Structures are given as structure tokens and as C-alpha cells.
Structure 1
Amino acid sequence: MTEAVNPWVKIGEGPEEETVLAVDFDVTGRLEANFRDLVGLLPVPVAVWQTVPPAESYRRMLTTEDYLAWWREYPDKGRRPVGTVLGYCVGSVFASELADEIEKTQGSRPRILLFDPEMPNTLSLYRDFGKVTEMMSVLSPEEKQQLLARAEEVRAEHGEEFDAVSARLIELYEEAGGAAFERLGLDEDLGAELLGLFRAYVSYLAAARKLDPSRGWSQARAITSAGSSTGARQAVEELRFEASHDELLRSPQAAAAAGAILRPKGE
């Protein structure tokens, strides 16, 4: 696995009067639109840095503080103000916490702009397990159906017990994926990285569950998809668009609304 050496990656070039930080779990092969898509659609160039998951999360479950410590040293800290913190889905939970920490450091509170903000729960975990299963091209349609059926058995057995459900789903994913990768003769390092991906994502969800984003969300503006989101109800303002959740960050209309919000505070 390629080790992440930097907790942030620059995804948008623009004037450097203010920095914009974006929190999301973005990995190669993701089907959903991402902040890179949004940045490419913004009406004006914006300097944007996005979180990178800690490499260690591919190997073991991390704590909430592990993530915050990894992202706490954001780019240009102490030299250039953070004007806005963005969050997508569960990343909105971490975005709220980072905004609190940034306020203490720079003495002014950054704006918070959230896209379909959501607290992680077992429903979203099962939903994303289904997406990951569909992405596993090494599995036949029959194998995918069997894997999803076993996930339904976990749901019936453990209900809303997030920690128990997440542990079992990781086991199922590693069992199915490991057998398939071995059958295909995949390189051991590549196989380990693919298997670790789901563990890293579940670690990200579990860590977010330990945070209370209510203060940040109550001061945020939310851009939401056609189905809205539970977290958006707490926002100061919700701007809803017809795009689906998966396509929200690829919506020209949503990008135009975000661009208006991301203008430097002095303009």
C-alpha cells in the first residue's frame, strides 16, 4: 500500500488570501462525485486542501483523536487564515470539530459549508457496504448476491449495534475479497490495500460517531441533494438541488451556490 505521508492534498488552485479545507473520505475508484469535481465547477478559482485518510487506518481501527491529530496540522496553519471548512456526508462531522479547533488557533471562526451532512449509523454502513460490494469486479454476480445476503443476516442479528455490525461486515468483506483476490492471483500488497480500504472507511465512520457536531452544524450552511439529509435540518440555511446524493458534488447548480459562499470574506 502507498503510505500517506501528508494529511492534506491540494485539490484546488486559487488566490491564497484564505484557505479552504475539505473533509471527505476520497479514494481511487470511488463512484460518487467528490470535491475535485466540485472544485472544477466553481465559478472562480479557490485554493482548496482535502483530507487524506491516515495510512494506519487501512490496518486497524483508529480513535477519533487519531484522526484529529493527523488533520490538526493543516496547510499554512498560523500563516494564512482558514476561511471555510467543507464537509461531505460523514465528513461534515469532522468538519464541525475542525472548525472549533481552527477558531481556537486563529482567533476567528471559519465558515462551515456542508454537503448532505450525515451522522454515521448502521443504515448508512449497510448502504455503503452494498456500494463497495458492487465495486468488487473480481466477484461474480452470484458471489455479490451471496455476500449481500450474509450482510442481511448480520443486520437481523445485530440491529443497530454499530460496533458489532461494523466488525462483522469487515470480516465478511475480507473473507470474500481475500478468496477472490487469491483466485485471481493478485499481488499480495495490492490485495492487502484493497482489503484495507473497507476497514479504513469503517474506521472513519466509527471515529466520527464519537463526535457531537451540533454546534458547528447549527452555524453552518448546507447544500443538499434531492433527498436532503438529516443533518441539514440543523443548519442555518439549506440550499437543496435536484441532483442525487452521489452526484451532488458534480452538480453545476450546487457548485454555483458553493462558489457564492466561498468568496473571501472581504469581498
Structure 2
Amino acid sequence: MTDTVDPWVKIGEGPEKEIILAVDFDVTGRLEANFRDLVGLLPEPVAVWQTVPPAESYRRMLATQDYLTFWREYPGKGRKPVSTVLGYCVGSVFASELADEIEKAQGSRPRLLLFDPEMPNTLSLYRDFGKVTEMMSVLSAEEKQQLLERAEEVRAEHGEEFDAVSGRLIELYEEAGGAAFERLGLDEDLGAELLGLFRAYVSYLAAARKLDPSRGWREATAITSVGSSTGARQAVEELRFETSHDELLRSPQAAAAAAAVLRPKEA
């Protein structure tokens, strides 16, 4: 991961009279649908910019304010209004906080459109550890099973202690990943970047845990899957669809519902 990383990347080309910001932890190789998938399903082109993790989070755990400071200078700030902030899963926590900051900066509050909004917890952390373990194709089925069993031992030892659990899971991932990358003969820098990916994700979760999104969520529209978390219950409106969490942002029905929310306010 290079040190010069832009905090926002454009994922939707469209008229920029108003812009849309999206918060998600989106990386190459991700199995879940992402906001690029959603944007591709919208009937009208829209200008959408999405958050990028700070490069430093690949090396160490960052504070909540580090993320907010990094993302605070969003595209078009002071020149074009932000009409909507999107959030996916834990990104919905940051989306609520960004909406507060944007309201102060531009004098009007952007809409909040959230997809399966969720506060991070140890359950979601173990779920995602299982996903990244499955993605480590260089590991044999037996090695993956052993890694998951060791994660279960961490769960038994630390329960709901998020900081303790996250630290141990990072250690397990780096130990298994380091051995796997050495076996593949990967370049040292590339191996370090891949190992840092899980650390960056855990840092993102830990930082979100320090925020209280309740105010923003109470004013939001939530588009949810069959496996939606309890976060959506706080929304002013919940639109639920018969699709899995991982496929929610690829759902044509969810995209149609999003398009209705994203129509320009003057329409």
C-alpha cells in the first residue's frame, strides 16, 4: 500500500450538480457485492465518490478521528452540494458521522441511504475472519479448518472483548498468511500489503465502534437483506428484499429502490 492515497475514488460518472458520497471498505478480490455493482444497476448515471482506507491503517490501528480527518475533504466540498451519503454495513456508522459534518459545512443535511447498517461487534468480526480465511486459496482445506478452530479458541477465551479478539485474530491471520505467502514466494512488499489488508479492515471496524450513529440512523432510509442487522430498525423507513447480505448491492430490486431515493430533490 503506497503512502500517497487519495481519500476518495470516483465510482459513478454522472451530472455533478449534486454529488453522492459512499462509505464502504472495498478492496480488490472482495466476494461481496459493492457500490460499483449498485451504481451499474441504476437507471440514470449518477456522480458517486467512495471512501478509500488511509494507507497508514495497513500498518497500524488508527483512531476514529484519523478516518474522519482523512475523509473530511471530500470531492466538490464548498463548490457542489452533497445530496446523499450512502453506507454499507459498518460503513453506515461513518456515513452518519459524515452527514453531520457535511450539514455543518454546507448548511443543509444530505439524505442518508444505508444498506444493512450494522455496528461492528465480535460476531461480525468472526464472520469476516471466516471470509478472508476462505479467500486464502494457497491454504489447504485442512489448514483453513485449523485456522478457524484457533479462531474459535480465541472466541472461547475472550468472548465479546472486541479489542482483545481483534488483536488475536490479526496475529492468527498474519501467522497463517505469512507462511502461505512464503510458500508462494511472494515479493516481500506485496506480502506485507496483503497481510496489512486484514489489519486495515479491523482498524476500520474498531474506529467505527467509537461512534454513535443513532441520530443519523433515525433519519435514514435503510435498504436491507434477509439477514439484516438490528441497525435498520432505527431507520425512519426500511425496505427489505429477499436477497442475501453479500448480494444486496447486486440486487436489481434494491437498486430500483435506491434509484427512487436518489432522484434529485427538485424532481
Class of the TM-score when normalised by the shorter of the 2 chains: over 0.9
CA RMSD in angstroms, aligned pairs only: 0.7
Q: Secondary structure at the match of 1:57?
A: helix
User: How far does residue 180 in structure 1 lie from its aligned partner after superposition?
Assistant: 1.2
Q: Which moved more, 1:117-126 or 1:184-193?
A: 184-193
**Structure 2: gaps of 5 or more residues:** none
Counterpart residue type for residue 73 of structure 1 = E
Residue in 2 that maps onto 1:174 = 174
**Structure 1: gaps of 5 or more residues:** none
Count of residue correspondences: 267
Structure 1 CA distance, aligned partners of 2:17 and 2:130?
42
Q: Secondary structure at the match of 1:212?
A: coil
Q: Deviations over 1:87-114 (max 9, x none)?
A: 0000000000000000000000000000
User: How far does residue 2 in structure 1 lie from its aligned partner after superposition?
Assistant: 3.7
Counterpart residue type for residue 178 of structure 1 = G
Q: Secondary structure at the match of 2:100?
A: helix
Is the 1:4–1:54 contact (alpha carbons within 8 Å) kept by the matching residues of 2? Answer: no
User: How far does residue 138 in structure 1 lie from its aligned partner after superposition?
Assistant: 1.3
Structure 2 CA distance, aligned partners of 1:142 and 1:71?
41
Q: Which moved more, 1:173-182 or 1:208-217?
A: 173-182
Counterpart residue type for residue 170 of structure 2 = I
1:259 and 2:236 aligned: no
Residue in 1 that maps onto 2:148 = 148
Deviating beyond 4 angstroms after TM superposition, the runs of 4 or more aligned structure 1 residues are: none
Is the 1:17–1:264 contact (alpha carbons within 8 Å) kept by the matching residues of 2? Answer: no
Is the 1:7–1:52 contact (alpha carbons within 8 Å) kept by the matching residues of 2? Answer: yes
User: How far does residue 201 in structure 1 lie from its aligned partner after superposition?
Assistant: 0.1
Q: Deviations over 1:4-55 (max 9, x none)?
A: 5210000001111111000000000000000000000001111000000001
Structure 1 CA distance, aligned partners of 2:45 and 2:4?
26
Is the 1:23–1:51 contact (alpha carbons within 8 Å) kept by the matching residues of 2? Answer: yes
TM-score normalised according to structure 1 size: 0.99
Residue in 2 that maps onto 1:28 = 28
Counterpart residue type for residue 47 of structure 1 = A
User: How far does residue 228 in structure 1 lie from its aligned partner after superposition?
Assistant: 2.4
Structure 1 CA distance, aligned partners of 2:217 and 2:27?
25
